[in-house]
Chains A and B, each alone.
Chain A
Amino acid sequence: MQTHFFARIGIAFKILFSRSYTEQLVSSSVSEATATPEPVTLTSSNTDGALQLLSLLQKEGRLLDFINEDVTAFSDDQIGAAARVVHQGLNKAIKEHITLEPVAETVEGSPITLADGFDTQAYRLTGNINGSAPFNGTLIHKGWRATRIELPQTVEGYEFSILAPAEVEL
């Protein structure tokens, strides 16, 4: 009987990236310098979600077909035409499943000040780094933050490694 497997999986399929979650990651991975460094415990993320997302990007935007094709033989026009399929499809797939926000709301190219204790994972310093916070600089790239990711729920025994089925016409 497989009728109730969903009850077992539960319905919590919303993985929310919150600020505190990313901060937690930062604090656990950046260990303080001590005389005898403690070994850092590293964790790997669950790959099922990554495979699922790849599968979605292939289905909607043919991403895997696109990057696996040898582009040297084709003209820019041909590549451009295919890129439209990829662009339209990926845009739709990403918009439906992930909510994106820029990390910095400032316009790129304008000045920005980072106060003491800023989130070092969210902001990367480059160029002439010295002195102490607050740091005054120019925003080069606004960054991206995912505020929501929702992937389809799957039935028990779902094979994530099949990113796209082979299609056989009868």
Chain B
Amino acid sequence: MSEAKFTVGIDLGTTHCVLAYSELNADGEPQPQQLFAIPQLVGPGQIEAKNALPSFAYLPHEAELPAHQSQLPWGESPYVAGLLARELGAKTPNRLVSSAKSWLGHGEVDRRAPLLPLQPAEGVNQLSPFEVCRHYLQHMVNAWDQAHPEALLAEQQVTITVPASFDPSARELTALAAKEVGLHNATLLEEPQAALYSWISGSEGQWREQVSPGDVILVVDLGGGTTDLSLIAVTESEGALELNRIAVGDHLLLGGDNMDLALAHTVRQKMAAQGTQLQPWQLLALSHGCRVAKEQLFNDESLNEVPIVVPSRGSSLIGGSLRTELTRQEVEQVLVEGFFPQTPVDAPVAQRARTALTKLSLPYAQDPAVTRHLAAFLSKQRHATAEFEDINLPEHARFLHPTAVLFNGGVVKANALTQRILSVLNQWLSDDGAAPIKRLEGNDPDQAVAIGAAYFGNVRSGKGVRIRGGTASSYYVGIESAMPAVPGMEAPIEAFCIAPFGMEEGSDASLPTQEFGLVVGQPVRFRFFSSTVRRDDQPGHVLDFWSEGELDELPAIEATLPADGRTPGEVVPVLLQASINELGTLELAAMPIDGEEQWQVQFDTRGEAA
């Protein structure tokens, strides 16, 4: 393998993929990052390079788009990705795959089974979430390789970003997708961390003037499809500033697309009340119109309403278009009050009981209030800074007090929304007697993640400050405790810690002593749990009780001991060991007590109940 010439960052986003890169120069000093424009189909037979590849895949009928019209510069593709996919899918949704990344992070389904589009047109061969995500990566690899035949992407220092809230199996699948397209050395980086790296890079060394030991930076990443929260503590060691990622939020499927759709539904209801019924295809045009109108209202305080036109589908534009308007009051009510209400910090997140007959769908956040999720996160992480001497939270603090906030993602381009988040945060802080929060600025909210990931390549080579953190959870396997079964009651379960909080890349958890019996030749499944609040549990620690929200159940793990050299059916005592590999994914191994072997334990990506 030839030496890397570039460090490359790939933002594999829910709604857009962005690729940024910078040159690696001889002395390793970070160079400015730039975006790589990704060639993609923009119309049948038309190709254009754009700064973002919309994360949409479209499976055309052969009569709709013959192979020669869907060719890419590097050859044929089994289906369409990017702008054209999004455009065709708007009118033919049963051939469109969207939000594949959210499905990849959905532990209750088989991520490698063909299930998208959910309701396919007749004759459409469905795709798995894994396959679609891999396809977006493949598209970017091909595009890059065509532009850089002398510096293929597989030979560069590649960083792929994942949501901080992705569980180990979703991370593993992302790393596997990268491997399958030849990116064997791609490292994973959490998106909010990438956003902070972009801010550090953009400040050109000035970031040290803007934060100081004792600061706690809250990163609020409001993307098109997800909301991702992280906390990073600033400390000092031997005179140098250190950054420590101390907590990440829950996986929240709640983003800008929900907000635009909410506005569109409001306007549709208003039109219906005036006697105009909209067709489903018009809702999309309306949602688009609402997004533009919303931005105008947010950017110009003097406007009280902005007209919205839903263009006709036929050629009579003037005669066939529908006109309505979006008012400031509607935007305030639906967006600001609906998604960012001024709530007290102890307001509970609204939960709706899931009905037993839930049809296959993404686990969207049930409470649309971003501020309530934020409050729950900060309250849950009240003790996250306990180990840092630099950070002194007052005794009476009801939540972890952030001192600085960095916004990221498309939603934060609306100033009114960031202002609202700031005012809510400041209200909570002032109620606790703490100082107002400081806003860190300078990032481009659409590009920061890719740019920060490209910058991270330099950090990996030892240039620039590295955000320390390791795993943001501790991990447990569930063991049914030896108690008499009670009819109608689930057998009590104990959680056995196998990996502590904060394991760094390239480290092993010290060997636990608990033995597990594995049946030779048969897969054995364990329930698997994580906790973002139990920071002190060491491997071997056993929990027989935990409160609501303390432990989250993840997809199960499965171990199989091959039968070679052993009698099938024999029970072999093993130890479970966890490690974090260099790429940043969690690995579990089963080691027979009487032997030298080591068997990998698989994450369940098939969504079966344990």
A interface residues, Cβ below 8 angstroms from B = 2-3, 5-6, 11, 55, 59, 62, 65-66, 68-69, 71, 73-74, 77-79, 81-82, 84-86, 88, 150-158, 167
Given A68-B315, A157-B68: A85 touches B47 (CB 8 Å cut-off): no
A62 touches B76 (CB 8 A): no
Which are the 10 A-B pairs with shortest beta-carbon distances? A152-B46, A81-B323, A152-B48, A65-B317, A82-B318, A155-B45, A6-B73, A153-B47, A158-B45, A65-B315
* Residue of B76, B292, B318 touching A74 (CB-CB under 8 A): B318
Measured between C-beta atoms, what is the minimum distance from A149 to chain B in Å? Answer: 12
Cβ-based interface call for B42 (8 A): yes
Q: Give which listed residue, B46, B71, B313, B318, contacts A69 with CB less than 8 A.
A: B318
Q: Do residues A150 and B48 form an inter-chain contact, with CB atoms below 8 A?
A: yes
B68 and A71 within 8 A (CB) = no
Q: Does B316 contact A (CB under 8 A)?
A: yes
Q: How far is the CB of A140 from chain B (nearest CB, A)?
A: 29
**Chain A residues with CB under 8 A of B311:** 62, 82, 85
Given known A-B contacts A3-B71, A78-B318, A79-B318, A84 and B307 have beta carbons under 8 A apart: yes
Asked whether, in the complex, the Cβ of A155 is within 8 Å of the Cβ of B318, the reply is: no
Q: Once bound together, how far apart are the Cα atoms of A82 and B323, in whole Å? A: 9
CA distance A51 to B381 in the complex (A): 59
Report how far A167 CA is from B311 CA in the complex, Å.
15
Report yes or no: B45 in contact with A84, Cβ–Cβ below 8 A: no
- Return 9 A-B CB contacts under 8 Å, by A number: A3-B75, A6-B73, A66-B318, A69-B318, A69-B319, A78-B323, A81-B323, A152-B47, A153-B46
Q: How far is the CA of A30 from the CA of B481 in the complex (A)?
A: 96
CB atoms of A2 and B318 under 8 A apart:
no
Q: Across the interface, do A152 and B43 meet the contact criterion of CB distance under 8 Å?
A: yes
- Identify 7 new A-B residue pairs, CB closer than 8 A, beyond the known A2-B71, A3-B71: A62-B311, A69-B318, A85-B309, A85-B317, A153-B39, A153-B48, A155-B69
Task: Let me know if B276 is at the binding interface, CB within 8 A.
Answer: no
B125 within 8 A of A: no
Is B366 close to A, CB under 8 A?
no
Q: Which residues of A contact B309 (CB under 8 A)?
A: 81-82, 84-85
- Minimum CB–CB distance from A31 to chain B (whole Å) comes to 39
* With A2-B68, A81-B307, A81-B323: A154-B46 Cβ-Cβ less than 8 Å: yes
Whether A82 contacts B45 in the complex (CB less than 8 A), given A3-B75, A62-B311, A157-B68, comes out as no
CB distance from A86 to the nearest CB of B (A): 8
Q: Which residues of B contact A158 (CB under 8 A)?
A: 45-46
Distance of A156 Cα from B48 Cα, bound (Å) = 15
Are B317 and A62 within 8 A (Cβ)? Answer: yes
Rounded to whole Å, the gap between the CB of B521 and the closest CB of chain A is 47
- A85 contacts which chain B residues (CB < 8 A)? 309, 311, 317, 321
Q: Are B46 and A81 neighbours in the complex by a CB distance under 8 Å? A: no
Alpha-carbon gap, A88 to B323, bound state (A): 15
Bound-state Cα–Cα, A82 to B314, Å: 13
Q: How far apart are the CA atoms of A68 and B39 in the complex, in Å?
A: 33
**With A59-B43, A84-B307: A65-B316 Cβ-Cβ less than 8 Å:** yes
Chain B nearest CB: distance from A156 CB in Å? 8
Q: How far is the CB of A76 from chain B (nearest CB, A)?
A: 11
Chain A CB within 10 A, most for which of B42, B292, B309, B318: B318
When the two chains form their complex, are residues B43 and A82 in contact, meaning their CB atoms are under 8 A apart? no
- Known contacts A2-B68, A3-B75, A81-B307: A66-B317 contact under CB 8 Å: yes
Q: How far is the CB of B317 from chain A (nearest CB, A)?
A: 4
In the bound assembly, the distance between CA atoms of A3 and B45 in angstroms comes to: 13
Chain B residues near A74 (CB-CB < 8 A)? 318-319
CB distance from A24 to the nearest CB of B (A): 28
In the complex, what distance in Å separates the CA atom of A152 from the CA atom of B39? 9
Give the residues in chain A near B307, CB-CB below 8 Å. Answer: 81, 84
Chain B residue numbers with a CB within 8 Å of A2 are 68, 71
Please, how many angstroms separate the alpha-carbon atoms of A128 and B39 in the complex? Answer: 52
Q: Which residue of chain A has its CB nearest to the CB of B318?
A: A82
Closest Cβ–Cβ distance, residue A77 to chain B (whole Å): 8
Name the B residues within 8 Å of A55 (CB-CB).
43
Within 8 A of A (CB), among B320-336: 321, 323
* B residues in contact with A153, CB < 8 Å: 39, 46-48, 73
Contact of A82 among B68, B73, B321 (CB under 8 A): B321
* CB proximity to A under 8 Å, residues B71-119: 71, 73, 75-76
Bound CA–CA A55/B292 (angstroms): 23
B284 CB to closest chain A CB, in angstroms?
14
Q: Select from chain B the residue with minimum beta-carbon distance to A73.
A: B319
Compute how far the CA of A130 lies from the CA of B46 in the bound complex, rounded to whole angstroms.
Answer: 51
Task: Give CA–CA (A82, B310) in the complex, Å.
Answer: 9
Task: State in angstroms the CA–CA spacing of A97 and B575 once bound together.
Answer: 61
CA distance A2 to B47 in the complex (A): 15
In the assembled complex, which residues on chain A have CB atoms less than 8 Å from the CB atom of B292?
88
The residues of A that contact B323 with a CB separation of less than 8 Å are 77-78, 81
CA distance A165 to B309 in the complex (A): 23
- Which residues on the A side are within 8 Å of B45 (C-beta)? 154-155, 157-158
Q: Contact at B42–A152, with CB atoms within 8 Å? A: yes
Question: Looking at A84, A86, A150, which has the most chain B CB atoms within 10 Å of its CB?
Answer: A84
A130-B212 Cα distance, complex, nearest whole Å: 69
User: Measured between alpha carbons, how far is A6 from B74 in the docked complex, in Å?
Assistant: 8
CB-defined contacts of B76 to chain A, threshold 8 Å: 3
**Residues from chain A with Cβ under 8 Å of B43 in the complex:** 55, 59, 152
CA distance A151 to B319 in the complex (A): 31
> In the assembled complex, how far is the CB of residue B381 from the closest CB belonging to chain A, in whole angstroms?
42
Closest Cβ neighbor of A159 among chain B residues: B45
Minimum C-beta distance from B91 to chain A (A): 8
